[in-house]
Chain A
């Protein structure tokens, strides 16, 4: 018999090879999904714009003057200029950073928390389950936008507060999802097998149960990101998001409201940006769901 380490090494290598192969196959299946590819394109464009906002912009986003205010889209100002003569295209480009930041914070804050609570609740059952599920139900029953509004009203405007408020209302669906998956696999044979082999509960939950939930969680994350963008833009529109002169898209739409009748581009362009990005995440979510959860009777 080979030594223990060599056996492990061989297994690990073949495991990684298998994973690589699976990833490649997944990619081939994803490629055949036209809407999904469009979504991926949009999100890639978003990330690239956020990273390379400065070289991609034509003007500085905060530079103000009163000479060229409210110019229509044209050669110098690709998407027009606003009332302080700032180039709207450049501001949208720089706004991608804010959008990405909010989305990232919300996902990082809400998904792991929800996952953790859901798996613990499903795995241990009994009173832990009951109490955690009641708490989840309370948060689920509360309208998201209202709660985010109330939290931001209390904490004050600003980008971090917006992200935290949205995250606080976004975690329950993950908990529900994780709990459902955990309940399904909790008593399956392979879990019992590793339990008999002496694996601790932590190991079982973290390394074996959580990966089973990941596919539904990823699908959910994609849809959540699109909703987060809409809620954040809505909060920015009311004036509770990042304050001026931050190029937050919702706030830009609100600022352009006064000129909607004649200089429509000030409001329209940022709105289109919000729409396109949200659509991109929805497309991705649709495609991922078709690929990852063929058995789920989710919405279409």
Chain B
């Protein structure tokens, strides 16, 4: 697959495409937690790093096959998610934000001090198992699963928690359980993304998974549209390409991100595609076509 693509584009472009795919997976995970269910998580990079290190260590130290490492990465991250999710999510209010900030920092410091994780030097020589097909194959599967989920009963229950948690409970939704499940699913995807990341760059260190990393994924979800799958994908694409395409503002990157968010919050507080519903798109299209027909037809 990669050979085929390289016939048309630069290897640099191919690398960007793989990174976009990895970021889509991570962003979709965060979208489930924050965009759909409304639970603000500011430690997504922490779960990503759990996945990355788990996968790298299992691969380097124990020689386990890639697919096994990948699954283990997702499951370990999800278990961590459940562990901190259960005590936190039974509370009403935005405590998850605080807990996840703290948790991600704790994780970073732990890996910084673990010998098996390479301490400050990190891990290098990780087998390069991540390829274009692996990543994008997973993206397609994950998008399909996500779409099925969000159009059905459990998906509606998650949206209702974001909209009004008390009314959701009164409608029969076990909000604590569903919040934890959403968090587990989101962190699972973070772990998968982390593993793909590790086996692509072949080198990871604690600095790769700092608070700014968590903010980047949050930006993708917020920019693209909270709760929207196409929106999140769009956000991931834009914000993966932007740092590359805007290398000349490298030093002003933080300024750029801050400015982008401010502009967004003023004009499109729900993200680019956050308020866009498929049914509205269809209606607008029908109206455009109706007008086109009316103006091109003869007097009636």
Partners in one complex: no
